[in-house]
C-alpha cells in the first residue's frame, strides 16, 4: 500500500511539474492581463460598460462584426469542406504535398494578406488590369469590392480555409466509404447516402470548425486595418482606434476589450462543446 501511495504521489508530482510551464504561461499571458483589464473596466462602479453601450458606433459595430465573422466563417467552412473532401480521395503523397501548399497562408500575417489582395484586386492589381484588358471591366468599380465588407470576408477566408481543411480532413480520411456503398446497395441515391451517412459524422467537426474560424474572424484586425482602414465599423477596429487615441477613456477601452474577448471565448467554448459531444 505504501509503495502504491508513493507511486501515485510521484506520478502526481510529475504531472504537476509537467503542467507548471503551461499554468505559468496561462497565468502570465491570459489571467493576469484579463484581471488588469477587468479591474480597469470596473473602476468607478462599472459605469464604463454603460458608456460603451450608448456610444453611437457600438451597436452598428456589433452588427457588422457578427455579419463579417459569420459570413467569413460560413464561406470558409463551405470551401474548406469541399477541399478536404477532395484531398481525402487522393493518395497520401499527393495529399501531403497539397496540404503543405494549402497551409502556407497560415504563415502570413494579416498585413501580408491584405497587401496581396491589394496587389491582385486593387485598382492597379494585376487581376483587375487583366480583366479590364480582356472584358472591359471598370477597375474602380471592380476594386471597390476589395475594400467592402464582402471583400473583407473573402480576405479573411483566405487564411481561415486552411484551418477548416486541417480540422475536417482527418475525419474524412478516416471515414469508411463502404458505408456509402452499403447505403446505395439498399436503394439510397448517392446524395441521400451522403446526407444520411456522411454528413452526420462530419457535422460536429464542421460546426466546431465554424465556431473556431468565426471566433478568429471576430477578433482579427490587422487585415481589416490594412485593407479598409477605419472605413468599416467593426469592434476590433473600434478597439484599435480607442487604444491609439491618447485622450481615450481607458475604462471604456477595457470594457470593449472584455466584451470582444467574451464573444470570442463564447464561440470557442461552443465549438469545443460541439466537438466533445460529437466524439461520444
- The tens-digit pLDDT sequence of the chain (280 residues) is 667 777 787 887 888 888 898 899 999 988 899 999 999 888 877 788 889 999 999 999 999 999 899 999 999 999 999 999 899 888 888 999 999 999 888 888 878 888 888 888 888 888 888 888 888 888 888 888 887 777 888 889 988 999 999 999 999 988 887 888 888 888 878 888 888 888 888 889 999 999 999 999 998 888 888 888 777 889 999 998 888 876 778 889 999 999 999 999 999 888 888 877 766 5
Quick one: pLDDT at residue 1?
60
Instruction: Give the per-residue pLDDT at 245.
Output: 76
CA dihedral sign, ordered 74, 72, 258, 251: negative
- Contacts of residue 256, defined as CB under 8 A and 6 or more positions apart, other chains included, come to 52, 58, 235, 238, 239, 242
Q: Indicate if the alpha-carbon torsion angle 172, 178, 181, 182 is positive or negative.
A: negative
Cβ–Cβ contacts within 10 Å for residue 135, how many? Answer: 7
H-helix or E-strand containing 8? helix 2-26
- What confidence score (pLDDT) does residue 279 get? 61
Q: Residue 218 phi/psi, 5° resolution?
A: -60, -40
Alpha carbons 208 and 205: distance in angstroms, whole number: 5
10 Å CB burial of residue 279 (0-12, 13-18, 19+) is exposed
The whole-angstrom separation of Cα 142 and Cα 123 is 8
Local structure of residue 30 (DSSP, 8 states): I
Q: Which of 123, 121, 191 is nearest to 150 (CA)?
A: 121
Q: Do the beta carbons of residue 70 and residue 154 sit within 8 Å?
A: no
Amino acid at each position: 500500500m505504501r509503495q502504491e501511495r508513493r507511486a501515485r504521489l510521484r506520478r502526481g508530482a510529475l504531472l504537476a511539474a509537467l503542467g507548471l510551464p503551461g499554468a505559468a504561461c496561462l497565468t502570465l499571458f491570459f489571467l493576469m492581463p484579463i484581471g488588469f483589464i477587468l479591474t480597469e473596466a470596473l473602476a468607478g462602479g462599472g459605469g464604463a460598460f454603460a458608456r460603451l453601450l450608448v456610444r453611437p458606433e457600438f451597436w452598428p459595430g456589433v452588427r457588422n462584426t457578427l455579419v463579417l465573422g459569420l459570413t467569413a466563417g460560413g464561406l470558409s467552412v463551405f470551401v474548406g469542406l469541399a477541399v478536404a473532401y477532395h484531398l481525402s480521395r487522393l493518395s497520401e503523397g499527393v495529399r501531403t504535398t497539397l496540404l503543405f501548399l494549402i497551409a502556407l497562408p497560415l504563415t502570413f500575417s494579416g498585413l501580408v494578406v491584405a497587401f496581396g489582395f491589394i496587389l491582385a484586386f486593387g485598382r492597379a492589381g494585376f487581376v483587375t488590369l487583366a480583366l479590364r484588358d480582356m472584358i472591359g471591366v471598370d477597375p474602380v468599380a471592380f476594386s471597390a469590392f476589395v475594400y467592402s465588407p464582402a471583400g473583407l470576408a473573402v480576405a479573411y477566408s483566405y487564411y481561415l480555409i486552411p484551418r477548416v481543411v486541417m480540422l475536417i480532413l482527418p475525419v474524412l480520411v478516416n471515414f469508411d466509404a463502404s458505408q456509402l456503398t452499403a447505403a446505395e446497395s439498399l436503394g439510397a441515391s448517392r446524395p441521400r447516402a451522403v446526407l444520411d451517412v456522411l454528413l452526420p459524422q462530419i457535422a460536429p467537426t464542421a460546426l466546431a470548425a465554424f465556431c473556431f474560424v468565426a471566433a478568429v474572424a471576430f477578433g482579427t484586425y490587422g487585415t481589416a486595418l490594412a485593407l479598409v482602414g477605419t472605413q468599416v465599423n467593426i469592434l476590433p477596429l473600434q478597439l484599435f482606434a480607442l487604444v491609439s487615441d491618447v485622450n481615450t477613456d481607458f475604462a471604456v477601452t477595457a470594457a470593449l476589450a472584455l466584451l470582444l474577448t467574451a464573444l470570442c471565448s463564447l464561440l470557442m467554448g461552443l465549438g469545443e462543446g460541439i466537438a466533445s459531444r460529437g466524439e461520444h
